[in-house]
């Protein structure tokens, strides 16, 4: 929604926007967040720096918007009729290869968080909070169906449970988790914590 509004206001076509985000992600993979400059983005995309700043405000916002644009579909597009179905369907959005590319990207950004409060803020506002809100809708549907008790305390910790499933293998093995691993983790940890029986 926000992207569409911005694109309309400034008459950047969605194709041009996608191309620009792709170039930002390429640069991010090549040089990492700290070494990425707005000059390099401008040169790579044949834009003026003034346009980039006017459109995105700064490097942190541009990078986070590019990551968000790269994510496959909306969480709330998924509605299988059961919480387990929804969580497992989320996994099939990305194959293991995409997951590996994205994991490397996100690890680079995670490393830069400590030194860059503006990146932390952009990540929280533009990516984590919207995604968390989408997950809350998935969970709310499960509450409405009677799968999760409305006062289930684990409802407040979905983000933490998911970070645990992702970040541990990335940190310790330099490997993103496979889909098979995440499917086991959903069944062994997330569903039981939410009081939903797993098969």
Give the interface segment with its own copies, choosing from 7-15, 36-44, 90-98, 188-196 (CB under 8 A): 188-196
The whole-angstrom separation of Cα 190 and Cα 149 is 14
Mind giving me the DSSP string for 24-54? HHHHHHHHHHHH--HHHHHHHHT--HHHHHH
- Shortest distance (Å) from residue 119 CB to its own copies: 11
Which residues, including other chains, have CB under 8 Å from residue 24's CB and lie 6 or more apart? 36, 41, 62, 63, 66
> What is the sign of the dihedral through the CA atoms of 65, 67, 69 and 72?
negative
User: Closer CB to its own copies, residue 20 or residue 190?
Assistant: 190
34 binds its own copies (CB under 8 A): no
By CB under 8 A, name the one of 31, 50, 113, 133 that touches its own copies: 113
The whole-angstrom separation of Cα 20 and Cα 162 is 30
By CB under 8 A, name the one of 2, 35, 163, 180 that touches its own copies: 163
114 binds its own copies (CB under 8 A): yes
Contact residues for its own copies, defined by CB under 8 A = 107, 110-111, 113-114, 120, 123-124, 128, 153-154, 156-157, 159-165, 167-168, 171-172, 174, 184-185, 187-190, 192-193, 195, 198
């Amino acid at each position: 929604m926000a992207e569409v509004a911005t694109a309309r206001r400034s008459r950047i076509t969605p194709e041009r926007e996608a191309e620009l985000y792709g170039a930002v992600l390429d640069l991010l993979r090549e040089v990492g967040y700290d070494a990425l400059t707005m000059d390099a983005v401008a040169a790579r995309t044949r834009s003026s720096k003034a346009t980039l700043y006017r459109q995105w405000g700064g490097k942190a916002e541009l990078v986070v918007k590019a990551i968000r644009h790269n994510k496959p579909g909306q969480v709330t597009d998924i509605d299988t009729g059961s919480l387990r179905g929804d969580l497992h369907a989320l996994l099939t959005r990305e194959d293991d290869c995409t997951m590996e590319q994205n994991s490397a990207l996100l690890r680079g950004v995670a490393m830069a968080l400590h030194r860059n409060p503006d990146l932390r803020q952009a990540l929280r506002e533009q990516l984590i909070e919207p995604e968390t809100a989408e997950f809350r809708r998935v969970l709310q549907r499960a509450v409405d169906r009677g799968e999760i008790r409305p006062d289930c305390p684990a409802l407040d910790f979905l983000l933490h449970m998911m970070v645990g499933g992702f970040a541990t293998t990335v940190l310790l093995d330099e490997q993103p988790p496979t889909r098979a691993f995440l499917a086991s983790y959903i069944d062994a940890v997330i569903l039981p914590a939410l009081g939903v029986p797993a098969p």
